[in-house]
Amino acid sequence: MSAPSFAHRAILSWPRIARDALPLALWSTHDIAMATGGIASGEFVCAGVEMDSRDVRPGDLFVALKGEAMDGHRFVDKAFASGASAALVDRPVDGPHVLVADTSAALHALAHAARDRADAVRIGVTGSVGKTGVKEAIFAALDKSSRGQAHRSVRSYNNHVGVPLSLARMPARSAYGVFEMGMNHAGEIDELTQHVRPQVAVITTIAPAHIENLGSIEAIADAKAEIFSGLEEGGTAVIPADIPEFAQLRAVAERLGAKILSFGRSEYANVRLIDAIPAANGGSLVTAQIEDHRLCYTVAEPGEHWISNSLCVLGAVKAAGGDLGAAGLALAELGGLKGRGARHQINVTGGKALLIDESYNANPASMRATLNQLGHTPSTRRIAVLGSMKELGDFAPSFHEQLSEPLAEAQVDHAVLVGDEMRALARHLGKGGAGTLGKGFSFAHCEGPAEAIAALQEFGLTAGDAILVKGSNSVGLGKLVDHFTSRV
C-alpha cells in the first residue's frame, strides 16, 4: 500500500472538535418524537425533511402539511414510493411515521429543536432587493471556511413554511446557518425571525417592493426592521448606510439592543467601499475598508448592485466571526442563480447571443439595477424583455412609466414589454413616436410569455446580442428563458 498523500495526511491530522461527535443522521425516531411530542410507529433515521411529495428523495422525512386547499396526507403513499424513510402525520398511515396532533405545529417544533441543538451562528437575511443572492454568497463564504459545515435555506424558502422547513433541515454539526426571510405584509418577518433567532440580522436594502400592501417606503423599512426583534442578546444588525432609511433602521436596531454594522460608500460605513473597477471577467475588482482591515477582492457577478451586495456579504461574515479572506474568494467564484442573474449563451442566427435570466422577481429598484448592468454589457445590440412588476398597487402606472429612463440610459435597441401593468410604459413610450423612442429604440407590448417568444422571433436575434429577461415571477418569463436556452 502506498504512503498517504500530503493532503490525506493533513485531513487525518485535522484537529477534532466537539461538533464532530454529534450524530451524522439528520433526525432519528427518538429525536423527532421528543421534539414534536409525537408517537413513533417504529425505529428509523432520516437524512432530509420535505413537504412536497414531488421533491422527496430516499431517506427523507415527509411532513404532511394541511393547507386551505390541499392536504399533504393525500400524498403520503407517493412520498413512500419515492423513498421517504418516514412521515410526520396527524393520523395513522401505512408505513413508518410519527403521529402528532398538528403537523404544522410539529414542523415548527422540529425547526426549534434543530435550531437549539446546533452550536451554529445563525444569520437572517431580508431586504427589498438581492436577499437570495446575498444569502447564497454569505453561505458560500462561510461554507468555504468551515469545512463544509454551513447550512442555508434553498431556493426562496423564505415564508411561514419555508423558514421552519429550512431550520428543520439544519444538521446538528452545522457551524453556520443562513436563512432568507421574505414578506408581503407587516408582521410576517417578526414571526419568521422568532423561529430563526439569529445572531446576525441582515437587511440588503429598502425599495418599493410590496408597496401595494404597505403604502410607503417608510412602512416597508419598518416591516423589514422586524428582523431585529428576533436577534439573540448581543446580536448584530447589518444595514445599508447609503439609503435614506438608514437612520430609521439604525434607530430600531439600537432600541432593540443590537450592535450596528453598516456597509456602503458613506464615509461612516463600517464596511466601506474604497474603489471598484471593471474586472476582466465582466465583474468588478473591489477594494473595501472593513473597520481596521483592508481587503481587495473580485466579484464575479456583474453590475453595480453586486458591488454593494459584496459589502453586505463582508459585513455579515465579519459579524458572524467568519473568514473575510474566504469571503473574498467565494465572491470571485459565484455564478448567477436561475432566474436571478444566470447567464446563458444561446444559439441564434449567425452564432451565439447572451441571455441574462432575471425572470424570478422584479421591482423598480431591481429593474433599474439590471438595466444598468445591461447597459454595461458588451454587445452588438441590447434587448430588454421586461415583465410586469407586481404588488405596486396605485403606484404601478408611475413606476412602470419611469422605466423609460433606465431603458434609454442602457441604450436598449429593442424592448419587449410583457403583462397588463406594462401597458403604462408602452403608452408612455408610444408618445415619442409609433413604436420608437429616439433613434433605434423600438418596442412591442405582449400579453404573456408565448406572445413575447413570438415577438422576439419576429424581431430576430442575431450573434452578439445581449438579451435581459426581467419580471415578476407570476408573469411567467421563465418559460421564455427555458424556450431559448433549450434550443440546440
Q: Are residues 155 and 280 in the same domain?
A: yes
Q: Are residues 212 and 81 in the same domain?
A: no
Q: Read off the DSSP letter of residue 49.
A: E
Q: Are 178 and 91 in contact (CB under 8 A)?
A: no
Give the pLDDT score at 338.
Answer: 82
Same domain assignment for residues 151 and 298: yes
CATH code assigned at 71: 3.40.1390.10
Q: In the structure grid, which three cell numbers stand for residue 97, read together? A: 411515521
Please state, in angstroms and rounded to a whole number, the distance separating the CA atoms of residues 480 and 389.
17
Closest CA to 468 of 277, 302, 350: 302
| 312 alpha-carbon distance from chain centroid | 14
pLDDT at 436: 41
Specify if 112 maps to a domain.
Answer: no
Are 122 and 179 in contact, with CB atoms under 8 Å apart? yes
Same domain for 329 and 261? yes
CATH number of the domain bearing residue 359: 3.90.190.20
Rg (CA), the chain: 24
Contacts of 91 (CB under 8 A, 6+ apart): 73, 99
Q: Does 113 fall in a domain?
A: no
43, 69, 102 - which closes a domain? 102
Q: What is the CATH number of the domain that holds 157?
A: 3.40.1190.10
* Angle 288-378-444 from CA coordinates, rounded to 5°: 115
Tell me the pTM: 0.84
- In a shared domain, residues 67 and 188: no
Report the domain count for the chain.
3
What is the pLDDT at residue 11? Answer: 56
Could you tell me if 319 and 346 lie in one domain?
Answer: no
Establish if 311 belongs to a structural domain: yes
In this structure, the answer to whether residues 62 and 175 fall within a common structural domain is no
DSSP class per residue in 422-474 = GHHHHHHHHTTSTTBSSTT-EEEEESSHHHHHHHHHHH--BTTEEEEEE--GG
Cell of 482: 427555458
Whether 83 and 59 have beta carbons less than 8 Å apart is answered as yes
Q: Which residues of 64-84 are buried (b: 16+ CB within 10 A; e: fewer)?
A: bbeeeeeebbebbeebbebeb
Nearest to 260 by CA among 194, 203, 205, 325: 203
DSSP 33: H
In angstroms, the CA 239 to CA 262 distance is 5
Domain co-membership, 95 together with 123 = no
> What's the one-letter identity of residue 465?
D
In a domain, 363, yes or no: yes
- Give the domain extent around 468: 342-485
In a domain? residue 2: no
> In the chain, count of helices (H) and strands (E)?
18, 22
Same domain, 268 and 372: no
CA gap 307, 29 in Å, rounded: 46
Per-residue pLDDT of the chain (488 residues; tens, 9 = 90+): 566 666 666 656 666 666 666 667 899 999 999 999 999 999 999 999 999 999 999 999 999 999 888 899 999 999 999 999 999 999 999 999 999 999 999 999 999 999 999 999 999 999 998 899 999 999 999 999 998 999 999 877 899 999 999 999 999 999 999 999 999 899 999 999 999 999 999 999 998 877 877 889 999 999 999 999 999 999 999 999 999 999 999 999 999 999 999 999 999 999 999 999 988 778 899 999 998 899 999 999 888 899 999 999 999 999 999 999 999 999 999 887 788 888 999 999 999 999 999 998 889 989 998 999 999 899 999 999 999 999 898 999 999 999 999 999 999 999 999 999 999 999 999 876 434 444 557 999 999 999 999 999 999 999 999 999 999 999 999 999 999 998 75
Residues 121 and 326: their CA atoms lie apart, in Å, by: 17
> Scanning the structure block, which residue is given the C-alpha cell 449567425?
350
Output the pLDDT for position 9: 63
Among 301, 333, 365, the domain boundary falls at: 333
Is 111 within the bounds of a domain? no
| Largest separation between any pair of C-alpha atoms in the chain | 80
Regarding whether 171 and 27 lie in a shared domain, the answer is: no
Amino acid identity, position 221: A
pLDDT of 337: 77
Q: Is residue 254 within a helix (H) or strand (E), and if so which, with residue range?
A: helix 246-255
In a domain, 413, yes or no: yes
Closest listed residue to residue 124, CA positions, set 48, 36, 39, 235: 235
Domain boundary among 44, 74, 102: 102
Which 3 state secondary structure label does DSSP give 150? strand
Q: Can you tell me the distance from the alpha carbon of 290 to that of 264, in angstroms, rounded to the nearest whole number?
A: 11
Which segments of 217-341 are extended strands (E)? 236-240, 259-264, 271-278, 284-290, 293-299
State whether 472 and 415 are in the same domain: yes
| Alpha carbon 421 to its chain's center | 25
Q: Is 252 among the domain residues?
A: yes
400 in the same domain as 286: no
